[in-house]
Chains A and B, each alone.
Chain A
Amino acid sequence: MNKAFGIINFAGNHIQVDGLQEYRPVGAFSFLGRYRIIDFPISNMSNSGIDNIQVYVRRKPRSLTEHLGTGRHYNINSKRGKLNIMYTEASQPGDIYSTDIEAYIENLDCIERMNMPYVVIAPSYMIYTADYSEFLNAHIESGADISMMYHAVDNAKDAFLACDTLNINKQKGVLSIEPNRGNAKNKNISMDTYVMSKELFLDLVNRAHKTSSMYTFADILNEECESLDIRAVSHRGYFAAITDFKSYFDANMDLIDLKNAVNLFDDEWPIYTRTNDSCPTQYFADSKVTSSVVSNGCLIDGTVENSIIGRGCTIKPGAVIKNCVVSADVVIGKDVHVENMMIDKHAKLIRGKRIIASPEKPGYVKRGDTL
């Protein structure tokens, strides 16, 4: 499908994941041990035949650029395709001027130079699989100006609170885009995933830029709902939005159950990631591992229950890990008991023997920290 190029957008100012986001953008968050969140949108594009992809980043780009590399591991043709990392300068965290529109304006010439007639835009803070070639073809067939994906949920009162919702008419036309105020259970959550002609995209970006310096792409769409034919396309299957710490934690936990994971992972739709060349995981004689997802390269002596273990972790004898999300290269020392925690990369839990948070409010151990 060389009818479209792809744009992967950064998480906007409305998304704030305490702890993790201090070190890297949401797209570079470790997910389910061996993945990073951005693996999902890029794999979706790659599997859909989109091999010209622009990834927008704003702050702390190191871990993301390292992970993306040349894009070869995403099965992107190294001659005909391209994974471009688009930097935006001068924006501060939480800066009102730091919007996706601002980033597109800064890189306008690169977008203009793309010679495909369509663009598919996907966010880097959502986890789902979708076939964008089907999405594009349906869009072309419908004759709509813009198609956008939504996921109908029944828990919008307590979840997806930082997301937008779509107000849709019977013909699946989008009437308005509004923030989720948590006032109703059933909502159509916007997946921040769009397809439109490149021409219209550029036009909207310019219009938004002229209207207000703090406008986002969703803002201008909302304003144009009446004048443009915006079609809502329903998504089925697994869907998660990483909008805060809790949603990050819960999304990981949900996928410990293989029954949920099969809704996301499909042999025919591989999720690519960067290999770390770690060897298989070694379980020693006294290890007790149950209901968990374990990555390669770990050495496990202790007990792991209902947890996600990242690559290259060492879990010493007598250690107990319960309901935790453990990132790569973490050491859990002898007889250390951790519960309901997210433990960031390279952390060492050695001295403090009981590190326990409540299940309602999971805790966080900083990257590279020694406890």
Chain B
Amino acid sequence: MKQNNMLAMILAGGRGSRLHDLTKKVAKPAVSYGGKYRIIDFPLSNCANSGIDVVGVLTQYESILLNSYVAAGRRWGLDAKDSGVYVLPPREKSDANLDVYRGTADAISQNIDFIDTYSPEYLLILSGDHIYKMNYAKMLAYHKECQSDATIAVIEVPMKEASRFGIMNTNETGRIVEFEEKPEHPKSNLASMGIYIFNWKMLRKMLMADMKNPDSSHDFGKDIIPSLLAEGKNVYAYKYKGYWKDVGTIDSLWEANMDLLSKNNELDLNDSTWKIYTEDVTALPQYIGADAVINKAFITQGCVIDGEVKNSVLFTNAKVAAGAKVIDSVLMPGAEVAEGAVVTRALVADGVKIGKNAVVGSADSENIELVAKRVKGDE
């Protein structure tokens, strides 16, 4: 806070129901990614690396694991004095009934008291379920340079996909003149990344008004941004270039993992100047057996590989027995593939065991198979 007078709030209440069984017991931000991470490690590490030291995490859906996970701010180095990660689920207050967060803006409104204790000048709003690396300090510098009331990070998407996003139409100075949510005929390809910097005093006023508005859905994209623009506030688009992925479905989660396999991939998790921090798991190094065959793989500690792994990502403590084959697949933490089993184009969920000689997924399937339950093999 001392450094930049900016406090970050991460919206982590989303359920991610299109991830099916993966989000049955954990919220989407807690879903595993990239061998050893959880999705929320990305915004949290970005905050830590950007010099932001107070982060509120707004949780709601299946939040037990997420709450305990983010509470250990030490993992991301967010544990200095006057620094910390605060878990903020909906709570009962003296002047209001216990309520769920009714929308993204409402989640912030219900925590105005928390934010006020820090009285920041700027508030950074982040989403807990995107994978990307971004220096928010640079975005803040841009925000100040433009003398914005609000700055929204945008990324260029292919024009034909633009209608899937919230699209920002800007003038030649980069000022946002219009916002269209999933437009049928998009006028630009600048998609909102759901990353906002607001002048807190101004936002605070708007949220107070929004709370009382019975017609509002209390959402940043649907309500707050449109009314900012309607009021003629200075809202600028901050163009981001680099890897950014919203992993909403099993296919896109699989794809985001596969992205890590190519040489010099854009996300570059190996960059020592912008590390992504995560839970420190006590596990052995990777054990690669005498007959193992590994071609194009991303493998982390605790894995034991005696079989064949091709074009796949293996998470902590995943095991591939002798004679087993794992091809174009993702093995989540603790997944085990027994002797002779073949896993192709599949995403095997945490701790799931694939039995002896079982066959899972297929090379010519259109979609990635999610394997969330034990697959029996030959006894």
Contacts and interface: CB of A to CB of B under 8 A. Distances in A.
Contacts of A290: 288-292
A192 to B, nearest CB: 26
Contacts of A271: 282
A215 interface: no
B101 interface: no
Chain A contact residues, majority secondary structure? loop
B298 A282 contact: yes
Interface stretch (A156-164, A294-302, A349-357): A294-302
Contacts of A286: 295
A277 interface: yes
Contact of B288 (A265, A275, A294, A296): A294
B270 interface: yes
B284 A280 contact: no
Interface size class, chain B: 35 or more
B282 A272 contact: yes
Report the interface size class on chain A.
Answer: 35 or more
Interface in A4-59: 32-34
A294 B304 CA distance: 10
A6 B38 CA distance: 37
Contacts of A33: 285
Interface in A103-145: none
B297 interface: yes
Interface string B258-287: 001101000001100001111010101111
A282 B287 contact: no
Nearest to B309: A283
A279 B36 contact: yes
Contacts of A287: 294-295
Contacts of B290: 290-291
B282 A279 contact: no
A32 B270 CA distance: 21
Interface string A264-284: 010000111001011111111
B288 A291 contact: yes
A343 B34 CA distance: 29
Given A271-B282, A277-B277, A292-B288, A282 B270 contact: yes
A280 B285 CA distance: 10
Nearest to A304: B288
B4 to A, nearest CB: 23
16 contacts: A32-B285, A270-B282, A277-B276, A279-B34, A280-B34, A280-B298, A280-B314, A281-B286, A281-B299, A281-B300, A284-B296, A285-B295, A289-B292, A294-B288, A295-B285, A296-B36
